[in-house]
Amino acid sequence: MPALATDTALHVRDLRKTYKDVLAVAGIDLEVRAGECFGLLGPNGAGKTTTIEICEGLTEPDSGEVELLGLRWSSNSAALRQRLGIQLQETQLSEKLTVVETLRLFRSFFRQGPGADEALRIVQLEEKRDARVGNLSGGQKQRLALACALVGDPDLLFLDEPTTGLDPQARRQLWDLIEEFKLAGRTILLTTHYMEEAERLCDRVAIMDHGKIISHGTPRELIASIGVEHVVEFSAGNATLDLARVSGMAGVRDVRSVNGTVLMQVTELHKAVPALLEELGRQGVPLTELRTHSASLEDVFVHLTGRHLRDE
Amino acid sequence: MNKATDHPLVQLTLMRMREFIREPEALFWALIFPIALAAGLGIAFRNQPPQVLKIAAVTPRIAEGLRQEKLLDVMQLPAALAEQSLRTGKVALLAEPGPDGTVVYRYDDTNPEGRSARMLADQAMQRSAGRQDPVSTSDNILREPGSRYIDFLIPGLIGMGIMGNSIWGLGFSIVDARRKKLMKRIVATPMPRSYYLLSFLLWRLILLPVEIGVPLAFGVLVFGVPIRGSFFALAGACLLASLAFSAGGLLLASRVRTIEAVSGLMNMTMVPMWILSGVFFSSQRFPDTVQPVIKALPLTAIIDALRANMLQGAGLAQMAPQAGVLAAWAAGCFVIALKLFRWR
C-alpha cells in the first residue's frame, strides 16, 4: 500500500465559509482518493460550488484545511495550478475566437500537456476546429470547456455541474467523455444535482444539503443504506387517503407525501403493489398515477431530507 | 505551433486583437467615426472667401460712388423698398441723400456687418469725391494652414480618439470578461496575473499607431493640416496619453460587474472632458477660476500638447508640463486600480 499522502488526491477538513449572512459551507470533511471519480450531489444552493471553488483555490475559506496532491494553496499555489484541470460553472469563453484558438490560448498557460489538436480529438470536436465559439451548441461549448481543462494534462480534474442545461443526448455524450477520463486513471471531483449523473459516473458520492454533507459512500452503499430496493410512486388525485393504513402494509418501509405524490419505499415489489391496489380499493380511492422504480440516489436524498433534489 | 506564439502573453494579445478585429462595430467607432467627424466638421467650418457686403443706395449718384469699393455689392433701390430691405436684414446698410448734398448712412451699429459696411461705404464715398490718402498702403494677404478650424480640430479629435479607445478598450473588455466569468476561468490557470493586464497594454500599443495615424493622415492629406514639431515628440505624447487613459479604463473597470455600470462610469468620466478639454472649441472660453482644473485633466494635457506640437512646432521641452500631467494620471490610476482590482 502506498502512503496516505500519495493515495489521497484531495483532503478537506472542517471547511467553513459564510457569505454575508448566508452560511454556504458549514463544516465539511472530504477525502478523494487518487484515481477515483468523486461526486458532490445536492440541490442548487447546497454549497457544492463554494466547496469546489475553495478546493480550486478561487475562494478563500473562513476556516478549515485543504490539501491537494499533498500540497496547499498557501505555500504551493504555482505548482498546484499546473496540476489542476478546472471547469467552472457558467464560464462563457470568448465568442469571437475559434475553437482551436481558444485551446491554444489555454494551452499556452501550462508548461506541459497535449496540444490543441490533441485536446480537440479527446473531446471529439475536430470537425468544429475552426468554428467560432459563439456558433457552438451548448453541448459543444461544454466539451470545449472540458478540453480547456485538459490541456495542462491535470492530475486532478474539477468539474462543476458539467452537464447542467444540456439536452439528454449532449449529456450522454459528455458522460461518455468523463468515463473515458476515468478509464485513463484521472482523479475527478464533480458536482451535480442530477442523481443519474452521480450514479453513472461516480465511484463515491457525498450528498450535500444546506452546506453540510449529510451522507457519503458509494452509490450502492447509499442506496442500500435506506434499506429498500424499490420505490412505488402514486397519486390519488384529490381524494383523501388514509396513509397510516398504507404504511402498515407488509414490506413497506417508509411512506411520504411530496407535492401530492405519495412515495412508498418497499422491499418486495411483487407483494407491495397488489397490496396497495387492494388497499386503495378498500378505501374507495381512485388511482390517477402509478410508477415504480429501483431505489436511486434521488430516493436517498428524499429519505434524508423529505425533499426532492430538483425542487429547490 | 512555434515557440514564440506559445507564450501566454502572445496568445492573450492575439485574443484581444481577434476580439477587436472580429467586431465590426468596434472597428467603425475606433477608426471610421473620427474620420467622418473630422470630414463633416472640416467642411462645415471651412474658411470662406471674404464676404461681399450687400448695401442699398437710393440715388444713382450715391450708388455710382459706392461701387468704387469691390467688397460692397450695391443695389440701387427706391426709398421704400430700400428701407424694407434694411429692416429685414437683406442689406447691411442704406445710403441716402441728406440735406445740402450730404450722405446719410442708416445701419445697425450693434451688427458687425453694419459697422464694416459703414467703414467701407464711407471710404468709397470720400474717394469717389476726390479724397487723397496721405499714406499709400498695400495688402499682403496671408491664409496659412495652421490657423483654420480644421487645424484646431484634428489634434482635438486625435486626443479624443486616444481617450475613447483606451477607456472603452480596457473598461469594456475587463468587465465583459468578469461578467462572463472568463476572467475567473483564466485566473484558475497557472498564467501569471500580470500577463492578463500586460496583454491589454500590448494591444493598446499595437493599435496606437493606427488610432493616431488614421485621423492624422486624413487631416494632413485632405486638409493640409501641418505637423510643425518633432514627430517623435508627437508620438511620445500620444504614447503617454494612451498609458494614462488605459490606466483610467483599468481603474473604472477594477470592481464593476455589469456593462451598464461601467458604461455609466465611463461616460461620467469622458463627457465632461469632451466639453472642458477643448476638443471642439478652445478651453480658454471657460472662466479663469476653473482653468487650473481644466489644465489638470488628461485630455486637456494631450490636446494642448498635440496642438503645441503640430501647430506651433513645440519640442519636447515645451510639452513637458502636459507630459507630466499625463504621467501622473497614468501612475496614479494604475496604482489605485491594482489595489482595487477584483479578479472574479
Q: Do A91 and B15 count as a contact with CB atoms less than 8 A apart?
A: no
Residues of B in contact with A105 (CB under 8 A): 11-12, 14-15
Q: Do A104 and B18 count as a contact with CB atoms less than 8 A apart?
A: no
Q: State which H helix or E strand residue B59 sits in.
A: none
Residue B71: the pLDDT is: 85
CATH 3.40.190.10 holds for B53-128: yes
Cell numbers given for B32:
471610421
First to last CA, chain A: 43
Q: Do A86 and B188 count as a contact with CB atoms less than 8 A apart?
A: yes
Q: Do A92 and B182 count as a contact with CB atoms less than 8 A apart?
A: yes
- Answer yes or no: are the C-beta atoms of A18 and A24 closer than 8 Å: yes
Burial class (CB in 10 A: 0-12, 13-18, 19+), B243: buried
- Answer yes or no: are the C-beta atoms of B109 and B90 closer than 8 Å: no
Residue A240: the pLDDT is: 78
Average pLDDT of chain B to the nearest whole number: 90
The predicted model scores a pTM of: 0.79
Give the largest CA-CA distance in chain A. 72
Please tell me the distance from the alpha carbon of residue A292 to that of residue A294, in angstroms, as a whole number.
7
> Model confidence over B301-329: pLDDT tens digits?
999 999 999 999 888 889 999 999 999 99
* pLDDT for residue B285 is more than 50: yes
* pLDDT for residue A288 is more than 60: yes
Q: Which residues of A216-227 are buried (b: 16+ CB within 10 A; e: fewer)?
A: beebeebbeebe
> Model confidence over A240-257: pLDDT tens digits?
788 888 888 878 888 888
- Answer yes or no: are the C-beta atoms of A150 and A118 closer than 8 Å: no
* pLDDT for residue B1 is more than 60: no
Residue B144: the pLDDT is: 64
Overall average pLDDT of the A258-269 stretch: 84
Taking the CA of residue A77 and the nearest CA in chain B, the distance in Å comes to 9
Taking the CA of residue A239 and the nearest CA in chain B, the distance in Å comes to 49
Taking the CA of residue A70 and the nearest CA in chain B, the distance in Å comes to 18
Residue A2: the pLDDT is: 41
First to last CA, chain B: 31
Residue A5: the pLDDT is: 45
Residue A312: the pLDDT is: 41
Question: By CA distance, what is B193's nearest residue in A?
Answer: A109
- Answer yes or no: are the C-beta atoms of A69 and A4 closer than 8 Å: no
Domain with CATH 3.40.190.10 in chain B: 53-128
Cell numbers given for B250:
483599468
* pLDDT for residue A4 is more than 70: no
Overall average pLDDT of the B155-168 stretch: 94
- In this prediction, residue A228 has a pLDDT band, given cuts at 50, 70 and 90, of confident
> Model confidence over A289-310: pLDDT tens digits?
899 888 888 888 888 887 877 6
Burial class (CB in 10 A: 0-12, 13-18, 19+), A240: exposed
- In this prediction, residue B147 has a pLDDT band, given cuts at 50, 70 and 90, of confident
Q: Please give the domain boundaries of chain A with CATH numbers for all domains.
A: 4-219 (3.40.50.300), 227-294 (3.30.70.980)
Please tell me the distance from the alpha carbon of residue B125 to that of residue A50, in angstroms, as a whole number.
94
Interchain CB contacts (distance < 8 Å): A and B: 72
Q: Which residues of B169-180 are buried (b: 16+ CB within 10 A; e: fewer)?
A: bbbbbbbbbbeb
Separation of CA A133 from chain center: 26
Q: How many CB atoms lie within 10 A of CB B274?
A: 16
Question: By CA distance, what is B186's nearest residue in A?
Answer: A106
Taking the CA of residue A177 and the nearest CA in chain B, the distance in Å comes to 21
> Model confidence over B27-61: pLDDT tens digits?
888 778 878 887 887 787 666 666 788 899 999 98
Locus of grid cell 500540497: A71
∠ Cα A19 A25 A29 (to 5°): 155
Please tell me the distance from the alpha carbon of residue A291 to that of residue A139, in angstroms, as a whole number.
31
> Model confidence over B176-229: pLDDT tens digits?
999 999 999 999 999 999 999 999 999 999 999 988 998 899 899 988 899 999
Q: How many CB atoms lie within 10 A of CB B147?
A: 12
> Model confidence over A159-200: pLDDT tens digits?
999 998 888 998 999 999 999 888 888 999 999 989 889 999
Please tell me the distance from the alpha carbon of residue B96 to that of residue B114, in angstroms, as a whole number.
15
Q: Which residues of B313-342 are buried (b: 16+ CB within 10 A; e: fewer)?
A: ebeeeebeebbebbeebbeebbeebeeebe
Residue B27: the pLDDT is: 80
Cα-trace Rg, chain B: 29
Interface mutation vs chain A, best among B9, B19, B189, most A CBs within 10 Å: B189
Question: By CA distance, what is A85's nearest residue in B?
Answer: B189
